Chains A and B, each alone.
Chain A
Amino acid sequence: ILNVEQSPQSLHVQEGDSTNFTCSFPSSNFYALHWYRWETAKSPEALFVMTLNGDEKKKGRISATLNTKEGYSYLYIKGSQPEDSATYLCAFNSWGKLQFGAGTQVVVTP
């Protein structure tokens, strides 16, 4: 049973459109929330590590917000490009251990 849930499981986006998806996690014993971008046959790439309620992080066209009180984080992709196609993983850090969600697979079509 995953305590960290990501939704949707997959989504298809038209090139140029913006999109977002969710990571839900327990609101207690929070240390940090990680976002990773993973392309098959490559290493998961760290996007953000978020530690404070209300944190907002941005990296190029990708940004993330964090609400630790209600236990969710959103990842946003603005103006999606084909190279954004990947699986986006979130991981909840509690008591020093990471628990990963199953990921949201994003497919951007030209």
Chain B
Amino acid sequence: NAGVTQTPKFQVLKTGQSMTLQCAQDMNHEYMSWYRQDPGMGLRLIHYSVGAGITDQGEVPNGYNVSRSTTEDFPLRLLSAAPSQTSVYFCASSLMGQVSGNTIYFGEGSWLTVV
């Protein structure tokens, strides 16, 4: 089973460049989300989506855009990369959002360095 697939796994960007982190899931999950993981900070929610065509901001949305044109895909776009966006990014999905305590499935992470 593929589960949640993220690409690329590693990326180095120059300040000001833009890029898209891809995320796809094959479990027909309605809920998808993006987190960033920084030392000592836990996982912080960037953006999330409760279904195709619906997105919303999380805790740290600035500098990132998302779209959800299909149930399967939830790309994260960095508009103009900054060194502060150096982080590990995780995509996650689950059934019926997170309200009822459904298990969240994570991708393997994308290591992004902005120089």
Contacts and interface: CB of A to CB of B under 8 A. Distances in A.
B91 to A, nearest CB: 10
Contacts of B104: 34, 46, 91, 98
Interface of B: 3-4, 35, 40-45, 58, 90, 97-109
A32 interface: yes
B42 A102 contact: yes
A21 interface: no
A22 interface: no
A108 interface: no
Given A2-B42, A51-B101, 4 more contacts: A2-B41, A4-B42, A42-B109, A43-B109
Contact of B99 (A2, A31, A41): A31
Given A46-B103, A51-B101, A98-B98, A89 B108 contact: no
Interface residues of A, number: 25
Contact of A42 (B43, B101, B105, B108): B108
Interface of A: 2, 4, 31-32, 34, 36, 41-44, 46, 49-51, 89, 91, 93, 96-103
Contacts, number: 64
B105 A91 contact: no
A47 to B, nearest CB: 10
Given A31-B101, A98-B104, A41 B43 contact: no
Contacts of A31: 98-101
Contacts of A98: 43, 45, 98, 104
A32 B42 contact: no
Nearest to A48: B103
5 contacts: A43-B90, A43-B107, A91-B43, A97-B98, A98-B104
